[in-house]
């Protein structure tokens, strides 16, 4: 850990939780984003997959950070939650489109990495890590959103494999993805216990879908399955145990949604500090008003608390904490960081007055962008339910060991 350099006035120092190497990594990623990714993102079609951004992130080694290799060069099956969070926070503070493109490669491909056969891993992970194949995670259906275990996309037995029938909705990167992790029902009326995860190529016969336009540009749509053949070798994990594959991915990913939110919140806070310290009013600057400084203080404090919750959850994951603790911490990190980012960005707009609402302004963009984080990968209410449930279970466990 480096020594305290508090007299430089540089904030936040991040001395509490990140190593010097990790801090350097953040600066490197931000520089790549500023110089190489922003121009490519701006040249892309809003709301659609930007393959140039992905390929550049592949060439510059950012995507590799999501899929680390062992020292012998062999693909590791273990994802690094802290690296994922660092990448997401750093990119989000500069360019949300690139951030989202990177994140979705992990979301779509981690079930393959962690639960796929060696053949499926060898076929898809190198291409996803190079940014030449686009990945997607297809869980949600019209009738199964927050209640994901109610999903009904049908996997009908067909010889040694299955045929998929049905539709997924709100799937990021659909319908443009090259590889989908699809959660389908293999046993009717069995809830979470009758779901199987499959790796399904987007080019396979019978796969279709349509783009959906959201308030913030996001590559998202439906994906349809019209008798799509899937093989036994394309099962991720075990038959009827696919829901665990989904939850394992979400436990890993939720802190990183928090990191995305922290990155956006930091960009909004930086803008508000800059604006209020240069905006002349009442014979001085806005920053002379104590109410303004106090607003910034609240924003900064809650943002830092979010960041620490995110790092704590990521550290728990990487250090092999129990799945109980990981789930609990992941839910807290996502809940607090996304709710805070919404508050910080809204406050930053308030402090900017009308300027923050002009179309194309950074804050107007962030205001639209941050909204979905409180809904996807489990809405805030679902995170509270998870946290509440683990509190009661922990209390029960304490009593029974007395
Ligand atoms: C930008 C974006 C990207 C997405 N990407 C993906 C993706 O890549 N893959 C994928 O599978 N899905 C994706 N989703 C879907 C997302 O996961 C769902 O929208 C989410 O799970 C909520 O489901 P729903 O929209 O059907 O809301 P519903 O389930 O209808 O819930 C509506 C609201 O009701 C409240 N609520 C629900 N349940 C409870 C409860 N138990 N207690 C209290 N309140 C409750 C919450 O406020 C919730 O927002 C994405 C969504 C968005 C917006």
Find out whether the beta carbon of 375 lies less than 6 Å from any atom of ligand 1: yes
Lowest-pLDDT choice from 52-61, 262-271, 392-401:
392-401
Q: Which of 143, 168, 170, 335 to mutate to test the pocket of ligand 1 (most atoms within 8 A of CB)?
A: 170
pLDDT digits (tens, 9 = 90+) for 226-247: 999 999 999 999 999 999 999 9
Whole-Å CA distances, 22 to 91, 94, 219: 14, 17, 29
> Which class is 137-240 in CATH?
mainly beta
Find out whether the beta carbon of 218 lies less than 6 Å from any atom of ligand 1: yes
Can you tell me the mean pLDDT for 123-142?
98
pLDDT of residue 16: 59
**pLDDT(7) > 50:** yes
**pLDDT(14) > 60:** no
What's the CA-to-centroid distance between 145 and ligand 1, angstroms?
5
How far apart are the C-alpha atoms of 42 and 49, rounded to whole Å? Answer: 12
Find out whether the beta carbon of 172 lies less than 6 Å from any atom of ligand 1: yes
How far apart are the C-alpha atoms of 114 and 76, rounded to whole Å? Answer: 9
Is CATH 1.20.140.10 the right assignment for the domain spanning 244-400? yes
Closest residue by CA, ligand 1 atom 44: 381
What confidence category does residue 18 fall into, taking pLDDT thresholds of 50, 70 and 90?
Answer: confident
Q: Quote the tokens at residue 140.
A: 């949600």
**pLDDT(391) > 90:** yes
Can you tell me the mean pLDDT for 257-273?
98
pLDDT digits (tens, 9 = 90+) for 325-381: 999 999 999 999 999 999 999 999 999 999 999 999 999 999 999 999 999 999 999
What's the CA-to-centroid distance between 168 and ligand 1, angstroms?
13
How far apart are the C-alpha atoms of 187 and 184, rounded to whole Å? Answer: 9
Measured from the Cα of 378, ligand 1's closest atom is 21
Find out whether the beta carbon of 337 lies less than 6 Å from any atom of ligand 1: no
Which region, left, alpha or beta, applies to residue 304 given φ > 0 means left and ψ of -120 to 50 means alpha? alpha
Omega prior to 175 cis, within 30 of 0:
yes
pLDDT of residue 73: 87
Per-domain boundaries in the chain:
14-134, 137-240, 244-400
pLDDT of residue 274: 98
What confidence category does residue 3 fall into, taking pLDDT thresholds of 50, 70 and 90?
Answer: very low
Find out whether the beta carbon of 265 lies less than 6 Å from any atom of ligand 1: no
Measured from the Cα of 138, ligand 1's closest atom is 11
pLDDT of residue 398: 86
Find out whether the beta carbon of 220 lies less than 6 Å from any atom of ligand 1: yes
Measured from the Cα of 107, ligand 1's closest atom is 8
For helices 96-115 and 51-59, what crossing angle results, to 10°?
70
What's the CA-to-centroid distance between 122 and ligand 1, angstroms?
32
pLDDT digits (tens, 9 = 90+) for 297-326: 999 999 999 999 999 999 999 999 999 999
Pairing relationship of beta strands 220-230 and 161-172 according to DSSP bridges:
antiparallel
Q: Determine the topology of domain 14-134 in CATH.
A: Butyryl-Coa Dehydrogenase, subunit A; domain 1 (1.10.540)
Residues known to be catalytic: 377
């Amino acid at each position: 850990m480096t020594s305290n350099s508090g007299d430089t006035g540089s904030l936040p120092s991040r001395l509490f939780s990140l190593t010097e190497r990790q801090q350097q990594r953040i600066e490197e990623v931000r520089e790549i984003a500023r110089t190489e990714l922003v121009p490519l993102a701006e040249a892309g079609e809003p709301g659609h997959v930007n393959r140039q951004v992905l390929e550049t992130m592949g060439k510059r080694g950012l995507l590799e950070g999501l899929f680390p290799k062992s020292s012998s060069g062999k693909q590791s099956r273990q994802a690094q939650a802290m690296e994922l969070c660092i990448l997401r926070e750093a990119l989000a503070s500069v360019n949300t489109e690139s951030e989202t493109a990177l994140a979705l490669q992990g979301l779509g491909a981690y079930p393959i990495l962690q639960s796929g056969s060696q053949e499926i891993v060898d076929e898809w992970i190198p291409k996803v890590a190079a940014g030449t194949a686009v990945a997607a995670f297809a869980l949600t259906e019209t009738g199964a959103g927050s209640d994901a275990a109610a999903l009904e996309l049908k996997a009908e037995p067909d010889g040694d494999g299955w045929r998929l029938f049905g539709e997924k909705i709100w799937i990021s990167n659909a319908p443009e993805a090259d590889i989908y992790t699809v959660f389908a029902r293999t046993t009717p009326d069995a809830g979470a216990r009758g779901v199987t995860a499959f790796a399904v190529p987007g080019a396979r016969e019978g796969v279709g879908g349509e783009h959906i336009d959201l308030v913030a540009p996001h590559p998202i749509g439906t994906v349809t399955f019209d008798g799509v053949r899937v093989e036994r070798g394309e099962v991720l994990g075990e038959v009827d145990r696919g829901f665990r594959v989904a939850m394992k991915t979400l436990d890993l990913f939720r802190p990183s949604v928090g990191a995305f939110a922290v990155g956006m919140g930091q960009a909004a806070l930086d803008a508000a500090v800059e604006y209020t310290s240069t905006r002349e009013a009442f014979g001085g600057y806005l920053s002379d008003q104590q109410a303004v400084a106090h607003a910034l203080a609240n924003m900064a404090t809650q943002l830092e608390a979010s960041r620490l919750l995110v790092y704590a959850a990521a550290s728990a994951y990487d250090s092999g904490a129990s799945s109980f603790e990981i789930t609990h911490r992941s839910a807290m990190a996502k809940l607090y960081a996304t709710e805070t980012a919404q508050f910080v960005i809204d406050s930053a707009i308030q402090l900017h007055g009308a300027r923050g609402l002009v179309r194309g302004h950074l804050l107007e963009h962030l205001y639209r962008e941050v909204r979905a984080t409180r809904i996807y990968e489990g809405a805030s209410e679902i995170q509270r339910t998870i946290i509440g449930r683990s509190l009661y279970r922990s209390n029960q466990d304490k009593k029974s060991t007395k």
